[in-house]
Amino acid sequence: MARVEDVARLAGVSTATVDRVLNQRPGVRAVTVQRVLKAAAELGYVLDPGLPAGALKPLRLAFLLPAGSNRFLSMLGRQIAGAQDQLASFNMRARVDYIESFKPELLAQHLRKSGRDVDGVAFMALEHPMVREAVDWLAERGVPAVTLISDVANTRRVAYVGLDNRSAGRTAGYIIARFIGSKPAKVAMIAGSLSYRAHEEREMGFLHLFQELFPAIEVVGLREGHDEEARNYRQTKMLLAQHPDLAGIYNIGGGPEGIARALKEAGRQNEVVFVGHGLTAETRALLVEGAMDAVITQNPQATLMDCVSIFANLRAGRPAAQGVERPRTEIILRENLP
């Protein structure tokens, strides 16, 4: 029969830590708790009957992400799908479901469907009553929901894993303004869709930054490109035609290749300051060639691990956000590419 020492050796922790975990005493990180429980299960250790029912059953998670051409979201999806061995070390497994973008009714349907066969859901939210109702329905069934990248207001979701998007919008505005200098100028925004709270908050932060600190720079409008390269290309072409003196573009969502292509065709890639979101292979290439000036991003691996910590906390009966830090906003330029 396995002993505490065997569990400690397999889990890579001390016997005191094993004792704290198996007797449900505080002071052990969520990830360590899961490692100890997994080691105990593998060794057939006879657990204290006071442990919660199902403590060793793998936690089933569903990640719901928008389908489409947003490269950062696709990269996040691949990261999750390829992390099954890593998730197994925390006694979890996950699947990734892609849902047609900008369709709140479809997102709500998938949330309800997922809630019938998983133990937790993480998803990129759309701000819509149907989505809010679905999140609260999950809560009623005891299925915790975590929002990713973009949050949703007035719901019983347990946590949000993403940037402070209002701050991100202000940061983008500040970068553009400092690149342009103190002269009067015009700048514009292209969003995926304002049905994403993240995009709406980025717009608000961007606008307020110029109103407060750079009133000589005029924001000439906001256009939606639905994260599509072709739409962003057309929107940028129209912006350049309407405002030949345009000095800056803030791409709030995806599809930066379309914007860069329009700027290059117009011979303006070295004149228009271009800031966007999400470090991917594509935005990296645009930074290297000088078509983009800065990328605001967050680490997809850290995003996944924050979700793991949140669900582990909930399983252990701790507050969802205990020990989970807010994701850091990273500003990437050509000269500091990782």
Q: Which domains does the chain have, with CATH numbers?
A: 4-43 (no CATH), 59-162+299-327 (3.40.50.2300), 165-297 (3.40.50.2300)
Write the burial class of residue 121 (CB in 10 Å: 0-12 exposed, 13-18 middle, 19+ buried): buried
The phi and psi torsions of 148 (rounded to 5 degrees) equal -115, 140
Strand, coil or helix: 170: helix
Write out residues in the chain with pLDDT < 50, as ranges: 49, 53
Sign (positive or negative) of CA dihedral 75, 280, 65, 133: positive
Name the residue among 148, 163, 152 with its Cα closest to residue 76: 148
Distance of CA 88 to the CA centre of its chain: 22
Q: What is the pLDDT of residue 170?
A: 98
Rounded distance between C-alpha atoms, residue 138 and residue 87, angstroms: 23
**Rg of the chain, C-alpha, whole Å:** 23
Q: What is the pLDDT of residue 48?
A: 53
Report helix angle 229-242 to 256-265, nearest 10.
Answer: 40
Residue carrying the six token digits 């997994």: 38
Q: Extract long-range pairs of 19-23: CB within 8 Å, 24+ residues apart.
A: 22/47, 22/48, 22/51, 23/48, 23/50
Which residues lie across from 60 on neighbouring strands?
A: 93
- 157-205 per-position pLDDT tens digit: 999 999 999 999 999 999 999 999 989 999 999 999 999 999 999 999 9
Q: What is the pLDDT of residue 46?
A: 57
Q: What is the pLDDT of residue 51?
A: 52
Q: What is the pLDDT of residue 53?
A: 45
Phi-psi map region of 268: left, alpha, beta (phi>0 left; psi -120 to 50 alpha): alpha
Rounded distance between C-alpha atoms, residue 88 and residue 80, angstroms: 12
Do the Cβ atoms of 210 and 222 come closer than 8 Å? no
Rounded distance between C-alpha atoms, residue 98 and residue 25, angstroms: 39
Q: Strand 59-67: give its sheet, edge to edge.
A: 92-100, 59-67, 120-123, 145-148, 159-161
Residue type, 233: Y
What is the pTM (predicted TM-score) of this model?
0.84
